[in-house]
Structure 1
Amino acid sequence: MSSSRRGGDRGKGIAQDQSDSRRRRAPTRAQVAEEVGRRAALRVQVRARGFSGRTVHDVGQPTANTHPQILTEGEITPGISSDEYIWRRKKLLKLLPENALAIFASAPVKMMTDVVPYTFRQDADYLYITGCQQPGGIAVLGHNCGLCMFMPETTPQDVTWQGETAGVDAALSAFKADEAYPISALNKILSSWIECSFQLFHNVNTANSTYVNLESFQKAASNGKVKDFAVHTHEARWIKSEAELKLMRNSASIASQALLQTMLHSKIFPNEGMLSAKFEYECRMRGAQRMAFNPVVGGGSNGSIIHYARNDQRIQDGDLVLMDVGCELHGYTSDITRTWSPFGRFSPAQAELYDLILETNEECLRLCRPGTTIREIHNYSVDKLRKGFQELGILKSDQPHGYHMLNPTSIGHYLGMDVHDCRTITYDRPLKPGVVITIEPGVYIPSNSDVSERYQGIGIRIEDDVLITESGYEVLTASVPKEIKHLESLLNNLSYGMGMEKGNGDSGF
């Protein structure tokens, strides 16, 4: 998905804050003993009320018991074991100063109507440390408590209407939390922990009133003790493990196969909405849980709208279609863009622009290696495209903002659990093996542009997902054709037999 430019070194001052916190006075032995005693008493109270100790049959999400076709014993997420989740928690704990807490909130449920929710998607940081895909929880990471999960409480009526959800028992048995309590105990327990802590961290962008409104949290914030922890979670998520890379390869493979099928479909059904539906269908049939973002399907001049979302136009003969799409597989995303002619032929003007974008894509891919930065690749692409635009006559050398009008986007972005991943990692950071990025040069010329008429109304982007390796790079989306001769051959030599009648394509869009 096309990325806007960004810069700056977010998170400045964190290291100094940590250094300052370490110099502050630690709790006395009496305070520590009192806190340990309080936690032990609360655990006894929780068990006495029946919140733990029973066998958990359904935790509200797939497990090895309920979904043996996708999870093996010991996995919390398909392909990711409980051991890896525990390793993640330990890795983040090493970044926490002594006597500090990190608080993570699950994503909120967003409502479509009074009683109908939108499809829930978990916050990436919360999912990264817990593996819990459900709403209503708060997780706390600390040197004394390890991972503590405060879980939502359900009534029989909740189960009747919404099914089983994860509670305290699931937090301990399925997600391997060190401690777990019902969310109703958060006020008492977390408040006491905050009062004994010298520093608090949380994700400022996903802060939840459940803990933010606590008097102890407000007091800590007013005293300058609350900091953003996203800089650390993003650091941990930036370089993917082997298990994560397997999921990302599979996510990219699903999206690539789905897009190829959608390309074949486009000659019979040149309609933005139908192509969007076809891509989602093909992804879900291959195991994806959802789209990574709303598909961008822009035919003709709609392709010049970078994040076009209407997807409601028929594609006219002679126009190109730009599809920027991706899927999410067990929490990991893909992001791929191809531009082609559903009718199997590029006009000379379309081909001139396309060849420039393709050449830029391929040259930028060859720059991907450890030590290079996205910023350096971006600067190379700007020089390459600016020269090409000038040679084509669509950019005058005396136009200071002319290039930005033709391409206002960055060459790429980080990719992972979020499609625009790890926002606190700057584009000036040298790439390392295990990092996944996108490479996506483009050109966007609206119909009312003042360039030559033959180029008006053309939008082109070519985007690949790229894994940085020890020796260079691996293109995860390489199976989808992008040379004009291959695209035209694909559309002109396809065999129909798709199980739908050609006449169905004219459905009033």
Structure 2
Amino acid sequence: MQRVVRKLTGIISQRQVVGFRSYCTGGVVFDVGQPTSASHPQLLKDGELTPGISTEEYILRRKKLLELLPEKSLAIIAAAPVKMMTDVVPYTFRQDADYLYITGCQQPGGVAILGHDCGLCMFMPEAKTYDVIWQGQIAGVDAALDTFKADKAYPMRKLHEILPDMIKGSSKLFHNVQTATPAYMDLEAFKKLAYCNNVMDLAVYTHQLRWIKSPAELKLMKESASIACQALLLTMLHSKTYPFEGPLAAKVEYECKIRGAQRMGFNPVVGGGPNGSIIHYSRNDQRIKQGDLVLMDIGCELHGYASDLTRTWPPCGSFSSAQEELYELILETNKHCVELCKPGASIRQIHNHSVEMLQKGLKELGILRGAGSSSYHKLNPTSIGHYLGMDIHDCSMVSFDCPLKPGVVVTIEPGVYVPSSFNGPERYRGIGIRIEDEVLITETGYEVISLIFFAVDR
């Protein structure tokens, strides 16, 4: 056994841990640091680079991005960094969506270059034997070429030698600003183009591509939504027995992950009573009192694609008359706004319609007295929805005024959030209600992909 270990250690040393090839030899499956069809046949089919997405689709994405990039320009896409929780304990790693969308690589430490002359060039991290022992194998140069199908690949230590010449031959640079790294930003060639205002955010192109989902992406999004719906339904049924925010948050996360989700899309919002009127409430540390509602906003990620939905219900009893009045208003607004989802409409138009409906309803209930918009925004400062995809608030560079197209997924999430201190009828104070659904724009209209049910029994 010791001879085998020494032999393997020698192989690791000789190859500088730049990544093993993803194939089987003599029954041994080599690890590239993330699932492949050889190492994880239960997750990936032959020809898939990530679960549900083929290698051919990744190559097509690169071609489409190159078609958008101006001549003599270069795209620099950095992987997300590892963020530390303490000195030796990292937070759970989540890849930058643009880097994942273009490369398929789920690991930190790399920089990808896309250009008309070089195609896809990947600079890959190099792990030392010590790192492999403690953290496991990572993808290196071999994996970049064999698994991710890069045209060229180099170890990261070569970046400062090779990238400057690539930049010098370019008139414009585009990079993912949110994960920009000094590894390339400190290069003199990069600084010169930046000084001349010739460095721009790549998201203006990648978000345009990511906005309309492919059939493979939509399949994953529907599966992600289905997982979240099942998890939320089981949590709702669980809530009468355990009317506590924390356990309900734990329950929904468990139910998502046991069904295959890799992580939650965000920390679950479990707002009981007045906490439901805090839009991004996340403490989840209170008991839900008799007579209170609980607002639960959750989403999970499945192989890079997110879900996002919200339901509000009374775990300890039934709706009061005031709660029911507000719930019916939000439910009707949700239904009408979903029906407005179709090609050619825009989130802005749907939002404006939702504001008209909610303002009218709140006035009829005597909650909204002033005619000004400032009074309304105290009760609902949010948009009716947002784009959804690889990120929860996806494709932020695409305007809400942009006409919707088939393949776009949006959320529809009307709500009302009445603070306990609100200067209005006492019976409505401290009530927060939101009903959020995921809606796919189709050729003929829409498809709701977050079907649990619109209303709960009263």
Using a 3 Å threshold, how does the CA distance of structure 1 residues 343 and 157 change in structure 2: closer, same or farther? same
1:226 is displaced (CA, Å) by 1.1
Give the Cα separation in 2 of the matches to 1:332 and 1:214. 34
Contact 1:51-1:169 within 8 A present in 2 as well:
no
Partner residue of 1:177 out of 128, 134, 150: 150
Q: Give the letter for the 1:483 counterpart.
A: A
**Which stretch of the first structure deviates more once superposed, 85-94 or 335-344?**
335-344
Match of 2:454 among 462, 482, 506: 482
> What TM-score does the superposition give when structure 1 sets the normalisation length?
0.85
Asked whether the 8 Å contact 2:341–2:446 carries over to 1, the reply is: yes
CA distance in 1, matches of 2:346, 2:156: 43
Aligned position for 1:351: 324
1:462–1:54 Cα change, 3 Å: closer
Residues 1:393 and 2:351 are matched in the alignment = no
Give the conservation status (yes or no) of the 8 Å contact 1:112–1:118: yes
User: Could you say which residue in structure 2 is the equivalent of 1:81?
Assistant: 54
The CA distance in 1 between the partners of 2:20 and 2:439, in whole Å, is 46
Deviates more, 1:389-398 or 1:407-416: 389-398
Give the letter aligned to residue 73 of structure 1: D
Residue 158 of structure 1 pairs with residue 158 of structure 2:
no
CA 1:53 to 1:314, structure 2 compared with 1: closer, same or farther past 3 Å?
Answer: closer
Q: CA deviation at 1:50?
A: 7.0
Matched to 2:378, the amino acid is M
**Distance of 1:206 and 1:230 partners within structure 2:** 11
Checking the alignment, whether the CA contact within 8 Å between 2:18 and 2:124 is kept in structure 1 is no
2:196 to 223, 236, 241: 223
The answer to whether residue 366 in structure 2 is matched with residue 407 in structure 1 is: no
Task: Note the aligned Cα RMSD (angstroms).
Answer: 1.3
| Cα displacement (A) at 1:401 | 1.1
Aligned-pair distance for 1:198? 1.4
Aligned counterparts of 1:352 and 1:199: Cα–Cα separation in 2: 56
49-58 or 348-357, which moves further after superposition?
A: 49-58
Q: Conserved in 2, the CA contact under 8 Å of 1:386 and 1:403?
A: yes
- Which residue does 1:128 correspond to in 2? 101
**Equivalent pairs, count:** 438
1:436 aligns with 2:405: no
In terms of mean alpha carbon deviation, does 393-402 or 118-127 score higher? 393-402
Aligned AA (1:435): V
Q: SS in structure 1 opposite 2:68?
A: coil
Please list the CA deviations of residues 112-140 of structure 1 after superposition, one character each: whole Å capped at 9, or x if unmatched. Answer: 00111000000000000001010000000
Alpha-carbon displacement from aligned partner over 1:362-418 (angstroms, at most 9, x marks no partner): 000000000000000000000000000000000013444110001000000000000
5+ residue gaps, structure 1, are 1-47, 489-509
* CA distance in structure 2 between the aligned counterparts of 1:135 and 1:277, rounded to whole angstroms: 28
Structure 2 length-normalised TM: 0.94
Q: Per-residue displacement from partner, 1:330-365 (whole Å, max 9, x unpaired)?
A: 000000000000024000000000000000000000
Report how far residue 482 of structure 1 moved: 2.6
Partner SS, residue 147 of structure 1: strand
In structure 1, give the amino acid aligned to 2:246: G
Query: 1:141-220 maps to which residues of 2 (within 5 A)?
Result: 141-220=114-193
Summarize deviations over 1:94-113 as a string: whole Å, max 9, x none.
01122211000000111000
Partner residue, 2:8 = none
Give the superposition deviation at 1:481: 2.2
Q: Distance in 2 between matches of 1:236 and 1:357?
A: 33
The correspondence for 1:273, drawn from 246, 253, 271, is 246
Distance 1:484 1:287, change over 3 A: closer
User: CA separation in 1, counterparts of 2:84 and 2:291?
Assistant: 41
- Structure 1 residues 55, 337: CA separation in 2 closer, same or farther (over 3 Å shift)? closer
1:203, CA displacement in angstroms?
1.9
- Does residue 99 in structure 1 map to residue 72 in structure 2? yes
Letter in 1 for 2:312: T
How many angstroms apart in 2 are the aligned matches of 1:237 and 1:208? 23
Q: What is the CA deviation profile of residues 259-315 of structure 1, one whole-angstrom value per residue up to 9, with x for unaligned ones?
A: 000000001000000000000000001000000011100000000000001000000
1:288 to 261, 285, 309: 261
Are 2:78 and 2:111, in contact at CA under 8 Å, matched by a contact in 1?
Answer: yes
Higher mean displacement: 50-59 or 199-208: 50-59
Report sequence identity in percent. 68
Contact 2:20 2:140 in 1 (8 A): no
Residues 12-55 of structure 1, C-alpha deviation per residue, up to 9 Å, x if partnerless? Answer: xxxxxxxxxxxxxxxxxxxxxxxxxxxxxxxxxxxx97787964
2:443 alignment counterpart: 470
- Could you say which residue in structure 2 is the equivalent of 1:324? 297
- Tell me whether 1:376 sits opposite 2:357 in the alignment: no
Is 2:400 the counterpart of 1:427? yes
Could you tell me whether the CA contact under 8 Å between 2:228 and 2:299 is conserved in 1? Answer: yes
Please list every run of 5 or more consecutive structure 2 residues that lacks an aligned counterpart in the other structure: 1-13, 23-29
Report the Cα distance in structure 2 between the residues aligned to 1:226 and 1:348, rounded to whole angstroms: 57
Tell me how far 1:230 sits from its aligned partner. 0.7
Of the two structures, which has the highest relative contact order with CA contacts closer than 8 Å and spacing of 6 or more?
1
The residue aligned with 2:276 is: 303
Say which of 241, 249, 255 aligns to 2:214: 241
CA gap of 1:59–1:394, structure 2 versus 1, over 3 A, is: same
Is the CA contact 2:21–2:31 (under 8 Å) kept in the aligned structure 1?
no
User: Which AA in structure 1 matches 2:441?
Assistant: I
Q: Is the 8 A contact 1:438 1:466 kept in 2?
A: yes
- 2:54 is aligned with what amino acid? S
SS class of match (1:470)? coil
3-state SS of 1:128 partner: helix
Shift of 1:227: 1.6
Alignment-mate amino acid for residue 296 of structure 1:
V
